[in-house]
């Protein structure tokens, strides 16, 4: 994908960083975006030709400023996400609002920033990182699950709206991926999850990044509105 510019949110670590590496390896000029400037600077230094911008996905002003700094974007990867888990009965509205604001509303606002340019160029790739729990549900994560299920609905609606402009919109639903976010889980919970994965291993960020690279490519030009499961067979 030479001469294409890719913008990746949540790109300072984990899945986002792996996506940035994969897209750069395919020839894209990558812009890494996240909240932590120090981590972004270090991450960008390891990816030739990349740049970075600070971005708070819960702030419309921050999103507008980051995309204004980035310039035209051909490939958008909405990966940034937060969790604030708790049982629905006791979940604070602030925790509900914070997760939806970053994971769903922020993704929508980011898409709005790139749509005009993509429509003008009559080419674009929008890839939303959802989750297996957006398809299956998960107790104790009503806010996170709602945000990830919402991303799937958003993906399908936008795919229909802008397909005539040669812009594809797809979602990826990762299963259990070995990242900082999942490292905090107990060994017992990890073993329980492993028992439900037919491939008998946890995913790597690179597994998700490979799917992102494919959906961003010319070869995926006839795929839109799809949800690509990257979960080792955990949900079919």
pLDDT in tens, 84-114: 999 999 999 999 999 999 999 999 999 999 9
pLDDT at position 36 is: 97
pLDDT interval class at 19 (50, 70, 90): very high
Answer yes or no: are the C-beta atoms of 47 and 20 closer than 8 Å. yes
Q: Is 88 exposed, middle or buried (0-12, 13-18, 19+ CB in 10 A)?
A: exposed
Using 50, 70 and 90 to split pLDDT, how confident is the model at 183? confident
- Domains defined for the chain, CATH in brackets: 5-229 (3.40.50.720)
- CB crowding 20-41: b at 16 or more within 10 Å, else e: bbbbbebebbbbbbbbeeebbe
Mean pLDDT of the chain, nearest integer: 96
Mean pLDDT of 112-122: 98
User: Which pTM does this prediction carry?
Assistant: 0.97
Question: For the segment 207-230, what is each residue's pLDDT rounded down to a tens digit?
Answer: 999 999 999 999 999 999 999 999
- Over residues 123-146, the mean pLDDT reads 97
Predicted confidence band of residue 184 (pLDDT cuts 50, 70, 90):
confident
Task: Tell me the pLDDT tens digit for each residue of 25-77.
Answer: 999 999 999 999 999 999 999 999 999 999 999 999 999 999 999 999 999 99
Whether residue 182 has pLDDT greater than 80: no
The mean pLDDT value for 129-158 works out to 97
* 138: Cα separation from own chain's centroid: 19
| 60-70 vs 106-121: helix crossing angle, rounded to 10 | 30
Residues in contact with 129: Cβ distance below 8 Å, sequence separation at least 6, in sequence order: 15, 77, 78, 79, 81, 151, 171, 172, 174, 208, 212
Catalytic residues: 144
Residue located via tokens 């925790």: 95
Radius of gyration of the chain (CA): 17
């Amino acid at each position: 994908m030479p001469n294409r510019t890719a913008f990746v949110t949540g790109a300072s670590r984990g899945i986002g960083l792996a996506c940035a590496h994969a897209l750069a390896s395919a020839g894209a000029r990558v812009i890494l975006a996240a909240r932590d400037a120090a981590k972004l600077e270090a991450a960008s230094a390891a990816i030739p030709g990349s740049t970075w911008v600070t971005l708070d996905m819960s702030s419309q002003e921050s999103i507008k400023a980051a995309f204004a700094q980035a310039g035209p974007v051909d490939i958008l990867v909405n990966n940034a996400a937060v969790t604030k888990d708790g049982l629905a009965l006791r979940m604070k509205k602030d925790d509900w609002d914070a997760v939806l604001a970053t994971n769903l509303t922020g993704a929508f606002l980011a898409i709005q920033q790139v749509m005009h340019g993509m429509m003008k160029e009559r080419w674009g790739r929008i890839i939303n990182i959802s989750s297996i729990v957006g398809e299956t549900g998960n107790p104790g994560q009503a806010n996170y699950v709602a945000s990830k299920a919402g991303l799937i609905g958003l993906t399908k609606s936008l795919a229909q709206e802008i397909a005539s402009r040669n812009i594809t919109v797809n979602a990826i639903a990762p299963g259990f991926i070995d990242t900082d976010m999942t490292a905090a889980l107990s060994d017992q919970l990890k073993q329980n999850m492993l028992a439900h994965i037919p491939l008998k291993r946890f995913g790597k960020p690179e597994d998700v990044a490979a799917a992102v690279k494919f959906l961003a490519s010319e070869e995926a030009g006839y795929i839109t509105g799809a949800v690509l499961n990257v979960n080792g067979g955990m949900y079919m």
